[in-house]
Amino acid sequence: MKVGFSQKMGVSRMGYFGCNILVVLVLVLNESHLCNGGVTSSFVRKVDKTIDMPLDSDVFRVPPGYNAPQQVHITQGDHVGKAVIVSWVTMDEPGSSTVVYWSENCQQKNKANGKVTTYKFYNYTSGYIHHCTIENLKFNTKYYYKIGIGRVARTFCFTTPPEVGPDVPYTFGLIGDLGQSFDSNKTLTHYELNPIKGQAVLFVGDISYADKYPNHDNNRWDSWGRFAERSTAYQPWIWTAGNHEIDFAPELGETEPFKPYTHRYHVPYRASGSTSPLWYSIKRASAYIIVLSSYSACGKYTPQYKWLKKELPKVNRIETPWLFVVVHAPLYNSYNNHYMEGETMRVVYEQWFVKYKVDMVFAGHVHAYERTERISNVAYNIVNEECTPIPDQSAPIYITIGDGGNLEGLATNMTEPQPNYSAFREASYGHATIAIQNRYHAYYSWHRNHDGCAVEADRIWVNNRFWYPFDESTTAKSG
């Protein structure tokens, strides 16, 4: 079955941009209403059953040739952006774990040697999984890299980020809960066509949904890797583990949590002093990004708690003004789906997010979209009854972006009335971008998958909490 890139949307680029402008105007005029809280979009998406793409779709195609590298993906390989981890799979034999790379304006080619690993899960044996870290790269430079041997060698490229600094513009894409359905394909295509060009993806967890298939069919990890390669091979995806990465299945004899995920997706956790790949930090351009694990112990005395307690004071807002946290389960969520599942982490860590003036927290898990105002609920001490979220200009904006398009479908059941802290919510598939302009401002937008257009359905100028801590809330603007 053909799901080719050039025909994925069924519209031309010109049609895409024209449609984008038209739908935004319609949205502003007609498609929202005010509730007790912010806005619950009145846009009604036809809720069809989400269907996985057939495995003979061209997005899952195996590269031609014996032992050709496949499932190629890259991520940041150090703490500051001068290294890249290149990962891929060969299915027939180990082959070479060497990466040949060179910069765009230089003919000299360099080599980096990686390592290969495999794993077994129930009745599945993985291919040969390669990880190679390319180090000592130049900032803001386009590199080409080649993997594989002989006629099946494949060449890709990436661009390193600018040097870390306070006024460095940089744009992140935000995608979560993607899966491998027709809607997943639309989401990834919308991101690729978005005129606000993302330079790296902050992925908030739930990758392949292999655990939703009989016996946690790990072939679905392979098909997802081939599906996403058109993006993951060319720009870094910053990985976060979700509940569908746990793969804990004692009924199958599988009792090692996160086994497929940690074998396939390497991250530079040791560079930030972490003891686990499930929580870590990186600097990228003008942003400091902290990735946390919703499904690891987070209470006092635990490894994640001890690491985060030491990590947050290290953030130098003069060097990296923007402080983002990425986690899977949302700390604030006004949908009935997964309601309060992030409460354990909120109770423990929210006070730190306020103290250190985290700008935004990005989460997934709920298969819909929501943006909050800046609010906190840190005053409660069991006996004082102060347990209602209140406006707090030192608190983050919380984003739920679990609307990638997986086979479980949309979360459409919302709590009513909409709580005061909820600024905008809608049950549609999509992605978001956060475009840092300088130390003071960033432009955030959410793009709906509808009628072949990446609609900018929600947007806000975000004020940096450290450098420009003024109220940018929806209520403040509309009032």
- Is the separation of the CB atoms in 255 and 265 below 8 Å? no
- Is the separation of the CB atoms in 425 and 368 below 8 Å? yes
Which value, in Å, is the radius of gyration of the alpha carbons in the chain? Answer: 22
Amino acid at 388: T
Q: How many angstroms separate the CA atoms of 180 and 225, rounded?
A: 10
- Is the separation of the CB atoms in 236 and 200 below 8 Å? yes
Query: Within 10 A of 218 (CB to CB), how many other CB atoms are there?
Result: 23
Q: What 8-state DSSP symbol labels residue 385?
A: -
Using omega within 30 degrees of 0 as the cis cutoff, is the peptide bond preceding 417 cis? yes
- Is the separation of the CB atoms in 68 and 76 below 8 Å? no
Q: Is 338 a catalytic residue?
A: yes
Q: Which of 190, 216, 244, 338 is catalytic?
A: 338
Which residues, including other chains, have CB under 8 Å from residue 469's CB and lie 6 or more apart?
357, 393, 394, 463
- Is the separation of the CB atoms in 236 and 76 below 8 Å? yes
- Is the separation of the CB atoms in 267 and 85 below 8 Å? yes
Q: Under DSSP, is residue 60 helix (H, G, I), strand (E, B) or coil?
A: helix
- Is the separation of the CB atoms in 258 and 241 below 8 Å? yes
- What are the residue ranges of helices labelled H in 312-377? 343-355
Strand ranges of the sheet holding 98-103, from the earlier edge strand across to the other edge: 110-113, 98-103, 142-147, 154-159
Which residues, including other chains, have CB under 8 Å from residue 211's CB and lie 6 or more apart?
244, 246, 247, 249
Q: What 8-state DSSP symbol labels residue 150?
A: G
Cα distances (Å, whole numbers) of residue 269 to 31, 62, 85, 145, 227: 43, 31, 12, 23, 26
DSSP assignment of 386-411 equals --S-EE-TTSPEEEEE--S--TT---
- Is the separation of the CB atoms in 181 and 51 below 8 Å? yes
Which residues, including other chains, have CB under 8 Å from residue 343's CB and lie 6 or more apart?
331
Cα 186 to the center of its chain, rounded Å: 16
Active site residues: 338
